[in-house]
């Protein structure tokens, strides 16, 4: 009877977007994978498990009494929403606790923005998630992937690797480290606190 009154454990689904395979490992479109890998290692998550029924690699751990589910969809970018929908349904995660980490060509390299309830902005992975969840009411950690914002770029650009100048900016700005810290603050103190500190 006591268990009936116990508060359900809060669950947070954190999804890093990217394309699986060595070919895409260091491309712009895989910044989500890179950031979530860093966060996983920094916070001593268990090894990634490839769960075929979810079409994703998953690692889970409890932080501050919250169940944190890290995800790397293995569907390729344009179909990321399929994996996100399956996992959100299985774990019964509230929309506000679905957090997406992804590259963004409208943000300058070295910068990160936290956004919520906004359109895909041309990002096909995010668009797939919106279509599958039938909502855009989720959180996004948007990592700058271009030296010049609002440029006209084709699909080929996001599959290119960063040049030496861009890599130096990432290192100087500690972009991936900062993204990891933003996620940690959001888990500990809430998204609003992370947005106030970093946006």
Task: Return the CATH number at 188.
Answer: 3.40.50.1470
How confident is the model at residue 197, as a pLDDT?
83
- For residue 68, the surrounding DSSP H or E stretch is strand 66-73
Active site residue 102: no
Question: Would residue 91 count as lying in a domain?
Answer: yes
How confident is the model at residue 111, as a pLDDT?
93
Q: What integer best gives the mean pLDDT of the chain?
A: 91
Which of 28, 29, 57, 124 does the annotation list as catalytic?
29
Count of domains observed in the chain? 1
Residue 7 has pLDDT above 90, yes or no: no
Question: What confidence category does residue 154 fall into, taking pLDDT thresholds of 50, 70 and 90?
Answer: low
Backbone φ/ψ region at 21: left (φ over 0), alpha (ψ -120 to 50), beta: left
Judged by average pLDDT, the poorest of 19-23, 45-49, 153-157 is 153-157
- Measured at the CA of 30, the angle between CA 26 and CA 33, to 5 degrees, comes to 105
Helices (H) and strands (E) in the chain, counts: 8, 7
Question: Would residue 126 count as lying in a domain?
Answer: yes
Question: Would residue 139 count as lying in a domain?
Answer: yes
Nearest Cα to Cα of residue 71 among 89, 53, 83: 83
Residue 21, strand partner residues: none
Query: 114-141: per-residue pLDDT in tens?
Result: 999 888 888 999 999 999 999 999 999 9
Question: What confidence category does residue 68 fall into, taking pLDDT thresholds of 50, 70 and 90?
Answer: very high
Q: Using CA atoms, how far apart are residues 35 and 25, in angstroms rounded to an integer?
A: 12
Contact (CB, 8 A) for 45 and 59? yes
Question: Would residue 2 count as lying in a domain?
Answer: no
Question: Would residue 1 count as lying in a domain?
Answer: no
Judging by beta carbons within 10 Å of its beta carbon (0-12, 13-18, 19+), is residue 8 exposed, middle or buried? exposed
Question: Would residue 19 count as lying in a domain?
Answer: yes
Question: Would residue 78 count as lying in a domain?
Answer: yes
For residue 150, the enclosing domain spans: 8-198
Contact (CB, 8 A) for 84 and 102? no
Report the percent of the chain where pLDDT is more than 70.
93
Q: Using CA atoms, how far apart are residues 159 and 155, in angstroms rounded to an integer?
A: 7
Q: Using CA atoms, how far apart are residues 34 and 47, in angstroms rounded to an integer?
A: 15
How confident is the model at residue 146, as a pLDDT?
83
CA atoms within 13 A on the CB side of 143: 30
Question: Would residue 115 count as lying in a domain?
Answer: yes
């Amino acid at each position: 009877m006591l268990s009936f009154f116990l508060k359900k454990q809060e669950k947070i689904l954190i999804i890093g977007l990217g394309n699986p395979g060595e070919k895409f490992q260091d491309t712009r479109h895989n910044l989500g994978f890179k950031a979530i890998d860093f966060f996983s290692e920094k916070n001593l998550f268990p090894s990634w498990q490839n769960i075929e029924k979810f079409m994703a690699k998953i690692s889970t751990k409890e932080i501050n009494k919250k169940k944190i589910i890290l995800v790397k969809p293995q569907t390729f970018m344009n179909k990321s929403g399929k994996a996100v929908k399956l996992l959100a349904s299985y774990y019964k995660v509230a929309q506000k606790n679905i957090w997406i980490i992804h590259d963004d060509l409208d943000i300058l390299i070295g910068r990160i923005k936290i956004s919520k309830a906004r359109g895909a902005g041309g990002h096909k992975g995010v668009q797939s998630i919106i279509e599958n969840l039938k909502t855009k009411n989720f959180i996004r950690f948007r990592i700058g992937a271009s030296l010049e914002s609002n440029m006209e770029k084709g699909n080929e650009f996001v599959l290119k690797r960063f040049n030496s100048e861009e890599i130096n900016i990432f290192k100087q700005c500690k972009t991936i480290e900062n993204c990891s810290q933003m996620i940690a603050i959001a888990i500990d103190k809430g998204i609003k606190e992370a947005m106030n500190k970093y946006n």
